[in-house]
Amino acid sequence: MNSGKGLKQGNGKGLGRGGGQGRNKGGSFGPGGYCVCAKCGHKMQHQQGTKCTTIKCPECGRTMIREELL
């Protein structure tokens, strides 16, 4: 018999977008490693607690990136 409430659950066949973990499988690269300039190749020791992308290359002024991403 119908209770007349009109609310019903769907059957769960959505597209399932998202849920990926991004680069490095969602983890960090750890405290060691190097920051590298993708333009001129200058390499410097990574400082723990500072993202490489916040550092400008002292040689050419471009943004540094983590060595593992090259």
> Residue type at 38?
A
Mean pLDDT by 10 residues, the chain (70 residues): 63 62 58 92 94 96 93
pLDDT at residue 67, rounded to an integer: 93
Q: Are 30 and 68 in contact (CB under 8 A)?
A: no
CA dihedral 61, 62, 63, 68 (to 10 degrees): -120
> Which tokens is 38 given?
């993708």
Return the SS3 of 52. helix
CA torsion sign, 41 to 45 to 49 to 55?
Answer: negative
pLDDT at residue 70, rounded to an integer: 84
